[in-house]
Amino acid sequence: MRSPSLTLVMPTIGWDDTFCRCARAALAGLEPGDEALVVFDGMPPPAPTWLLESGALLLNTGLRQGPAAARNLAARSAHGVILLFVDADVELHPDAIERIRACFCANSTLSALFGSYDDRPAAPGVVSRFRNLLHHHTHSSHPGPVSTFWAGCGAVRRQSFLALGGFDAAAYDRPCIEDIEFGLRLSDAGGRIELDPSIQGTHHKRWTLRSMVATDIRQRAIPWSRLLLERRELPTTLNLTTAARLSAAASLLLPLALVGLALPGLRALALATSVGCLGLLLLLNWSFYALLLRCGGPLEACAAVGLHGMYLAYSSLTYILMALAQVAGTPLRQPV
């Protein structure tokens, strides 16, 4: 069977070293008949000479509108059968595009496909390693059919993408959950989406504790909670499995139990609850913690376990507050 043509779509807000490294890696995987569209979100400064000579078509949105609008602009200009979205900080493995092409060639009913970060994040530091490895572990642990999508390294049939209106750029004018929301719409329309964790790229994003918490709440937890509440149903894959929900409950109960240790009348119950919650977190997330141990060593793994508990707690608390606000009839506004 003839391989479908690909259009590489890479949005960016700068021509920095990370973008150049990631763009070169993606361009290297293209074949004759493919095309590459690089979309600058806003008005671009002069592009590097190598990019101008690469054969990639350069587009821009004029004003900063967010990656959803940038990707939509490219999709409307594309000619490939398959749209391959790659983030500007994801360095594809040499075999990633070949694997994507083979999956679509082997399965004519496949609507979309996405991969995963690898387990060797480029950015140093405990927070960066934890956040990037969490994404890797979540994706690598749930291969197969899914009802969501990921545009960091994801491909979709152009016809299916355009038929659904692409990403919702009006609702998501900053990096957010536009790809997740699109995946849910595609799944609702009967599209088949697969997660293949063998399709990998190295993530170059550097996280700090402040940027992690702010991004997770503002650009993940709040819009994701709002979307789930609007749909009135919870998917059961990726970070919403039964194990993930039990882990979230344990992460919320554990701080309360630790506070109870200071109250003499509740000390025994609080101790038992604390041990139980901690044990449940370790049991349910052992494979992730083992990955942290293997990649960062004992001290970094212990710190990352604490970060994981905090991540679960503030993400879950955000959903609870959003749900309570909806019941009260006063929707929680997203912070600017």
What pLDDT digit, counting tens, does each position of 160-197 carry? 999 999 999 999 998 899 999 999 999 999 999 999 99
Helix ranges restricted to H, the chain: 17-28, 49-52, 67-77, 96-106, 126-140, 158-163, 178-188, 209-215, 222-231, 242-260, 267-284, 286-328
Q: Rounded mean pLDDT of 194-203?
A: 97
For the chain, which residues make up each domain, given as ranges? 6-207, 238-328
- Tens digit of each residue's pLDDT (9 = 90 or more) over 66-92: 999 999 999 999 999 999 999 999 999
Average pLDDT over all residues of the chain: 91
Q: Predicted confidence band at 330 (pLDDT cuts at 50, 70, 90)?
A: low
- Domain 6-207: which CATH number of 3.90.550.10, 3.40.190.80, 3.40.50.10540, 3.90.470.10: 3.90.550.10
Residue type for position 336: V
67-to-214, 312, 334 alpha-carbon distances in Å: 19, 26, 19
Which residues fall within 8 angstroms of residue 225, CB to CB, at 6 or more apart?
318, 319, 322, 323
**Which pTM does this prediction carry?**
0.90
> And the tokens for 194?
């697969």
